[in-house]
Structure 1
């Protein structure tokens, strides 16, 4: 079940103390409304009732979808992951993410029925193309959706607030699955960070076969 906690916080702008509702865990099956607020990026919005100061709150919590069989440990800012999987979620896919954008991406990937490790390999290839196309050294890509046989990603370029969208054929995803099969890749135990770093390591291992 979702676990709700009420804490008192002080507005950093006017100093007004007030109650704030936060969650140490969210169960998507029992509380689909909270899941939708996560996808809408509004669940952690906070506004001071006195001065109207706005902030997006960030704190550690667990997100679980029992029906889809996955659990995500959110540790904002890479503050460390001390969560230990219980016997009840032993068979679940377990992931660790650093922020709400990464959590939203995991939800979209798993709900669409895709393997997030293979998706990271697709992103690795796509980001290489984007860096060359836009002549930039760093880009951030987030899975968006699959439509008409193509996998779409939101691409954030340096010094831009709004994403540009790029798509790649699902064949690239299928090729990524083949890479994982060639390596007999299996998830390590515990909460795993499946990200760009892991994708680069997998590609390196594959090239050394």
Structure 2
């Protein structure tokens, strides 16, 4: 089941506070309507009772899909929270979910993301059966081959599953600062298929490069640059 909680929040526009209900754990199987809200940027949105501004509240969200054996923990990027703290928070969310459900829930295929767009990207990716590690390897290759144009510090690369075809994968660059989408990049589906074969024969290189639960080419590149 999905889990919600009530919070008191201040409007970013006028400062008015109001009590709202936010989704904290989203179960895609029991609440497909909430999943649709997430995919279309309607989840956890608030309309200010005073100034009428509409805004989204980004708090940690646990997305679960038992049928797909998938669990994704979205923790919004925060300069004060390092990866260890985020992983600790993930464990706390699991404990809280188990307590409210009244039973121990086995942890399925666990992933960790830092933005809503990465969460939506991953859901689309997993639903069509794509290999996340191979996709991130492709992103890594594109970044490193275009270092003068694609700066991971300023640009996030996203796979557009819906616009991808049988012949090519479509990637779009997002400006990290203003969240605007920009350059579109294409990668041959045949080359992706070849990488899948390499993964099937010897997954160790992919696993070492992207051990999880946060599987991200951009994170690897930023860590290498430090």
Give the SS at the match of 1:125.
helix
- Residue 72 of structure 1 aligns with which residue? 72
Choose from 165, 169, 176 the match for 2:184.
165
Give the direction of change, closer, same or farther, for the CA distance of 1:4–1:158 in structure 2 (3 Å limit): closer
Give the direction of change, closer, same or farther, for the CA distance of 1:130–1:55 in structure 2 (3 Å limit): farther
- Residue 224 of structure 2 aligns with which residue? none
Aligned-partner Cα distance in 2 for 1:34–1:96: 20
Give the direction of change, closer, same or farther, for the CA distance of 1:58–1:173 in structure 2 (3 Å limit): same
Structure 1: gaps (5+ residues): 201-209
TM-score, structure 2 as length reference:
0.75
Q: How does 1:170-189 map to 2 (within 5 A)?
A: 170-180=189-199, 181-184=201-204, 186=207
1:6 aligns with 2:6: yes
The count of corresponding residues between Structure 1 and Structure 2 is 197
- Residue 128 of structure 1 aligns with which residue? 144
Aligned-partner Cα distance in 2 for 1:158–1:36: 25
Aligned-residue Cα RMSD (Å) equals 2.9
1:89 aligns with 2:106: yes
Asked whether the 8 Å contact 2:133–2:207 carries over to 1, the reply is no
Provide, for residues 82-111 of structure 1, a one-character-per-residue CA deviation record: whole Å limited to 9, x for no partner: 223676334x21101111111111101101
Deviation (angstroms), 1:44: 2.9
- Residue 205 of structure 1 aligns with which residue? none
Structure 2: gaps (5+ residues): 99-103, 222-226
Asked whether the 8 Å contact 1:155–1:164 carries over to 2, the reply is yes
- Residue 204 of structure 1 aligns with which residue? none
1:151 aligns with 2:169: yes
Give the SS at the match of 2:181.
coil
TM-score, structure 1 as length reference:
0.80
Q: How does 1:111-126 map to 2 (within 5 A)?
A: 111-126=127-142
Deviation (angstroms), 1:2: 0.3
- Structure 1 window deviating more from structure 2 (156-165 vs 99-108): it is 156-165
Asked whether the 8 Å contact 1:117–1:199 carries over to 2, the reply is no
Provide, for residues 38-58 of structure 1, a one-character-per-residue CA deviation record: whole Å limited to 9, x for no partner: 111221322212112332211
Aligned-partner Cα distance in 1 for 2:212–2:3: 20
Aligned-partner Cα distance in 1 for 2:177–2:65: 35
